[in-house]
Copies of this chain bind each other. A is one copy, B any other.
Amino acid sequence: MVLRKELFDLPTGVIYLDGNSLGPLPRAAQARVAQMMQDEWGQMLIRGWNAAGWMDQPGRVGDTGGRLIGAPAGTVVMGDTLSVKVYQAVAAALNMVPERRVILSDTGNFPTDLYMVQGLIEALDRGYELRLVAPEAVAEAITDDVAVVLLTQVDYRTGRMHDMEALTAQAHAAGAVMVWDLAHSAGAVPVELATCGCAFAVGCTYKYLNGGPGAPAFIYVRADLANAVEPVLAGWLGHDAPFDFDLDYRPAAGIGRMRVGTPPVIQMAALEAALEVWEGVDMAALRAASVALQELFIAEVEARVPALTLASPRAAAQRGSQVSFAFEDGYAAMQALIARGVIGDFRSPDIMRFGFTPLYLDEDDVRAAVDHIEAVMQDRLWDDPVYQTRAGVT
């Protein structure tokens, strides 16, 4: 069994189908942060860097998180944001194929990945091209001029899932460096980074891993590359001997060189505790439970709410851990749902997203959620003007 609702502080009256955007509060994280604030920051003060292990935490928590994505110990480090880690990974990857000028990605990638690359190639000013194709056209677009293939495995809008192994093999056959963004994969679907063989992977920890709002990102570098990659963001905590305070940068051995500045210790404490929730979770069992919840949801919605059109792939094997439906008044309908305690979210132009997280969701939750969806749609509750004014984040 993967269900462990009791480890989360879930609000009463809420069915939370937005763990794909921000995971809920693990009780252990709340306790751990309070303890860290009081006993470590409060009492140890500066001594916490050694005595409480703050200095080693990014690597230690990286190892823990790495186990959920098939990354061997010493290949993952936590820190910064996903955007910053994309920049670091792509910049380092470009240096590995200096004669090529194309970064290939797809139009389903999360925009910040594309923006960071746009900023990078503008700064480099050496004729780099960000080539975007439709997600379905990626395979045939991996040509011999591609330096780096940058893909997010699971599409943030539709949940469509790329085949990591196949595309990585194709990238390698074409002489390109593969960078995977696992934002919607880590803790959602089984990932085997070492098997996959990609050079880099990045991701965030505030979605399925429940690390809290703004939790640190992660970066993975394949073990055989870790001593060779250039971190580009050459911060002091990626230095071989930061407390020597040398004037010249000399990268640390291994994954530690991908660290940049002082780690966010409070967020790290929350994340470390959040990852304890995963102890004993078998990712294959989690995946099976996720698929079962998704299939139930799709079947119930399609049977009871014909106005919604499935916007995710119908084949479970091609979906991550979310299901999206298209509906013209989707924004307002989602607001009406949220007002009833069923929290999903909306992505332009018409996508209602629902995330499935078997750690704290069961079939009763799914059925109850569909009851609300049915009621909202039958009674056209989205017609209420109160639901039609768009706020910033949904």
A43 at interface, CB cutoff 8 A: yes
A/B interface sample: 27 pairs, CB < 8 A: A14-B45, A24-B41, A25-B38, A30-B42, A37-B212, A46-B393, A47-B338, A48-B213, A49-B392, A50-B393, A54-B213, A54-B214, A80-B84, A81-B235, A83-B235, A83-B237, A112-B235, A115-B249, A116-B233, A118-B234, A122-B232, A206-B262, A213-B264, A214-B262, A214-B265, A214-B266, A214-B267
The answer to whether A33 and B266 have CB atoms under 8 Å apart is yes
Find the B residue at minimum CB distance from A213: B265
Find the B residue at minimum CB distance from A79: B81
The answer to whether B391 and A50 have CB atoms under 8 Å apart is yes
Band of interface residues on A: 35 or more
Q: What residues on B are CB-neighbors of A124 within 8 Å?
A: 123-125
A277 at interface, CB cutoff 8 A: no
The answer to whether B22 and A81 have CB atoms under 8 Å apart is no
Q: What residues on B are CB-neighbors of A30 within 8 Å?
A: 34, 37-38, 42
Q: What residues on B are CB-neighbors of A161 within 8 Å?
A: none
Nearest chain B CB to A79's CB is how many angstroms away?
8
Docked pose: A248 CA to B121 CA in angstroms: 13
A306 at interface, CB cutoff 8 A: no
On whether A239 and B111 interact (CB within 8 A), knowing A80-B261, A268-B214, the answer reads: yes
Docked pose: A289 CA to B24 CA in angstroms: 45
The answer to whether B21 and A212 have CB atoms under 8 Å apart is no
Q: How many copies does the complex hold?
A: 2
Nearest chain B CB to A158's CB is how many angstroms away?
13
Docked pose: A275 CA to B233 CA in angstroms: 29
The answer to whether A266 and B235 have CB atoms under 8 Å apart is no
Interface residue ranges, A against B (CB under 8 Å): 9, 11, 14, 16, 18, 21-22, 24-25, 29-30, 33-34, 37-38, 41-43, 45-50, 54-55, 80-84, 87, 91, 107, 110-112, 114-116, 118-119, 122-126, 132, 204, 206, 212-217, 230-237, 239, 242-249, 260-268, 270, 338, 343, 345, 347-348, 391-394
Q: What residues on B are CB-neighbors of A231 within 8 Å?
A: 119
The answer to whether A261 and B42 have CB atoms under 8 Å apart is no
The answer to whether B33 and A236 have CB atoms under 8 Å apart is no
Nearest chain B CB to A57's CB is how many angstroms away?
10
A-B pairs with the 7 shortest C-beta distances?
A81-B261, A119-B234, A112-B236, A83-B261, A213-B265, A83-B235, A214-B264
